[in-house]
């Protein structure tokens, strides 16, 4: 997991760490730090390079400075939500694979998220999350 640094330096540290590896890069965006840490650790233990952001704003900074393969984001993030983040991220990185997660059903969020984005309901099991990230990283269609 890329170490958590002050907001203004996190993206530059992430970029230098990403330059050192060809592993799949996953950005985990979650405002619950316990969920964030568990997801990031599980993905890192599986061999992914993991960057973390606690808000859509932090994620936007990372996405503007580093190429990401998979965006794994909560939908409910506070001031700016995950659906808005996804649309902006896909404009900047059109080949980005996206996995949404939420404690509410996908229907609760309406048509605000891209139809091709995978959805993982909370609470999710870590093996299921890892499976979805593997699928997204390898471009396979979602069930």
pLDDT digits (tens, 9 = 90+) for 48-98: 999 999 989 999 999 999 999 999 998 887 777 777 888 889 888 988 999
Mean pLDDT of all residues in 9-15: 39
Given a cut of 50, whether residue 37 has pLDDT beyond it is yes
- Copy the structure tokens of residue 76: 């409910």
Which one, of 119, 115, 129, 139, lies nearest residue 50 by Cα? 129
Domain ranges for the chain:
7-137
Report the Cα–Cα distance between both ends of the chain, in Å, rounded.
28
Rounded to whole angstroms, the Cα distance separating 10 from 137 reads 23
CATH 3.40.50.2300 for domain 7-137: yes
Give the residue with greater pLDDT, 76 vs 105. Answer: 76
């Amino acid at each position: 997991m890329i170490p958590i640094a002050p907001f203004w330096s996190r993206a530059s540290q992430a970029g230098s760490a990403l330059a050192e590896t060809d592993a799949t890069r996953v950005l985990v965006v979650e405002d619950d730090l316990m969920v964030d840490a568990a997801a990031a650790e599980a993905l890192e233990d599986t061999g992914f390079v993991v960057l973390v952001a606690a808000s859509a704003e932090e994620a936007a900074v990372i996405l503007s400075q580093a190429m990401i393969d998979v965006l794994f984001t909560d939908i409910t993030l506070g001031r700016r939500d995950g659906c808005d983040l996804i649309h902006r991220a896909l404009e900047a990185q059109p080949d980005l694979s996206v996995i949404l997660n939420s404690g509410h059903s996908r229907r609760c969020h309406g048509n605000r998220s891209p139809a091709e984005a995978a959805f993982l309901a909370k609470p999710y099991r870590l093996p299921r999350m890892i499976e979805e990230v593997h699928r997204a990283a390898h471009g396979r269609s979602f069930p």
